[in-house]
Structure 1
Amino acid sequence: MHVDEAIQSRRSVRRFLPTPVPLEVIRHILQIAARAPSGNNIQPWRVHVVTGEVRQALCRDILQAASEAAEQHQAEYAYYPTQWVEPYLGRRRQNGFALYEVLGIGRDDRQRREQQMLRNYSFFDAPVGLLVTLDRCLNTGSYMDVGMFIENILVAARAQGLHTCAQAAFATFHAIVREHLPLNEDDILVCGIALGHEDTQAPENRLLTERQPVEAFASFHGFSETPETERVC
């Protein structure tokens, strides 16, 4: 798969098939992803990969905590702003409304919206979950490095015919994760990633989020109005 196709076909899949993913494929994806750049090549990421009974036990306990005592858990870093402003607020709302619409969930149906949110903690049924951590002694630049590493995972997975969903929602329940996995004391849980084969019959997987055109976020400086190839000598 050409890298352009892998990037353009990547999306957040929210329902997976139970089809297993071979360990050698996961290792290959991580090996490719590790080519991500990082400041001074410090490679600050660490990954815990779960499947089978380990995954089931972890998901069970997080689902219970999220259902019964969510207010007792908090992520160790702020992913979203404390005060939403435009245009980000509008984009966030549009994304949420679009997802609930394809699922047939009304805007006032809080119970079904909550049920959909809780599906995060089963990795949306994906057979493999990845939990990405970062040493808390590092600084903002390392979050950028980890972000590039995560993107490499998502794109490398597409090259293997797989799909993913990056899930910051797991960061809230780092204490539960520590009960199941050997995270170091200095590890910050950055996110989870669902990995597997897409359920192509699921309506939520038909959602294709919009992107701003290049003209909306980029400006170009110092370029000739006439491309070099079109100049007449």
Structure 2
Amino acid sequence: MCGPEEAVIGPSEECVAAQSPVDEIMTRRFACRDFCDAPVPRRTIEQILHVARFAPSGANIQPWHVYVLGGAAKARVSAALLDAHETCRDEHVSEYKYYASELPDRYLKRRQEFGRLFYGSLGIHQADAEARSRQTVKNYTFFGAPVGLIVTIDRRLEAGSWLDLGMFVQNVMLAAAGRGLQSCPQETFSKYHRILRPLLSIPEEQMVVCGISVGKPAGQAQRLMPRANVDEFATFLGLDA
């Protein structure tokens, strides 16, 4: 079964959310952590990237670069990362910081809830460090997906370009979902940039941001992660109810 990510959508939310085919794709997308080995043709990935490139970017900078891995190339990357994770994981660190050192209470509670739901769904106790590490290892095999993407950004750019990159990554995942595929964005690949750089011939000016696993889910999706209601994060001014 695929790993959980999205919330179960109740009937009333479904009525509001699924108003169009695009809405359906967005609400049904999830972070899959268990893929089957059904091949994904290069042409399909090319189509996904072809439409994803229309993500907006300030001054049309288009700050993204993607390394597409499959077959032997993906296997070589996985083998190198698995070895590093096993033998010297503490020697590797990402070039950017994903989480704040001290999360405000609202976000801390959500992160803790994710841990409870995610590891609980896998039958892993949160205090079981060994079992959690075994689950983490699956990242580096792209959760069994036939295609893995490594996404980079030019380190000479500013924070606004990271906003652009996020919209591009979302486009990639939605375009995949629209083709009956699922995906999983994985920040953990950024930790091993020193290994990925020579393997993929990544130039020094590019910073490894994340990986994305792409393929067909191995089983029925399980949606566990709740999302905040609109009234929790949106303030409406000047609009009638």
TM-score, length basis structure 2:
0.89
Q: Quick one: distance in 2 between partners of 1:134 and 1:108?
A: 35
Deviates more, 1:93-102 or 1:163-172: 93-102
TM-score, length basis structure 1:
0.92
Structure 1 residue 60 corresponds to structure 2 residue 79: yes
Structure 1 residue 223 corresponds to structure 2 residue 236: no
Paired residue type of 1:69: C
Correspondence for 1:94 among 99, 113, 125: 113
Q: Quick one: distance in 2 between partners of 1:88 and 1:56?
A: 36
Paired residue type of 1:81: A
Name the SS for the 1:206 alignment partner: coil
Q: Give the share of equivalent positions with the same residue, in percent.
A: 41
Name the SS for the 2:126 alignment partner: coil
Consecutive unaligned residues in structure 1, runs of 5 or more: 226-233
Residue 10 of structure 2 is matched in structure 1 by none
Residue 137 of structure 2 is matched in structure 1 by 118
1:114-169 deviation per Cα after TM superposition (whole angstroms, max 9, x unaligned): 10011111111111000110001100000000000000000000000000000000
Q: Quick one: distance in 2 between partners of 1:99 and 1:221?
A: 37
Q: Quick one: distance in 1 between partners of 2:126 and 2:160?
A: 38
Residue 208 of structure 1 is matched in structure 2 by 224
CA contact (8 A) 1:98 1:207 kept: no
Correspondence for 1:195 among 195, 214, 221: 214
Q: Quick one: distance in 1 between partners of 2:55 and 2:125?
A: 41
Q: Quick one: distance in 1 between partners of 2:135 and 2:124?
A: 9
Name the SS for the 2:48 alignment partner: helix
CA contact (8 A) 1:154 1:164 kept: yes
Consecutive unaligned residues in structure 2, runs of 5 or more: 1-19
Structure 1 residue 151 corresponds to structure 2 residue 161: no
Q: Map of 1:17-166 to 2, 5 A cutoff?
A: 17-166=36-185
CA contact (8 A) 2:53 2:168 kept: yes
CA contact (8 A) 2:115 2:126 kept: no
CA contact (8 A) 2:182 2:217 kept: yes
Name the SS for the 1:198 alignment partner: coil
Paired residue type of 1:171: S
Deviates more, 1:148-157 or 1:58-67: 58-67
Name the SS for the 2:33 alignment partner: coil
Task: Say what the alpha-carbon RMSD is for the aligned residues.
Answer: 1.2
Correspondence for 1:8 among 3, 21, 27: 27
CA contact (8 A) 1:133 1:189 kept: yes
Q: How far off is 1:207 after superposition?
A: 3.5
Q: How far off is 1:67 after superposition?
A: 1.8
Paired residue type of 2:39: P
Name the SS for the 2:50 alignment partner: helix
Rg (Cα) greater in structure: 1
Name the SS for the 2:105 alignment partner: coil
**How many pairs are equivalent?**
222
Q: Quick one: distance in 2 between partners of 1:220 and 1:67?
A: 50
CA contact (8 A) 1:99 1:207 kept: no
Deviates more, 1:185-194 or 1:89-98: 89-98
Q: Quick one: distance in 1 between partners of 2:215 and 2:108?
A: 31
Q: Quick one: distance in 1 between partners of 2:119 and 2:52?
A: 32
Name the SS for the 1:83 alignment partner: coil
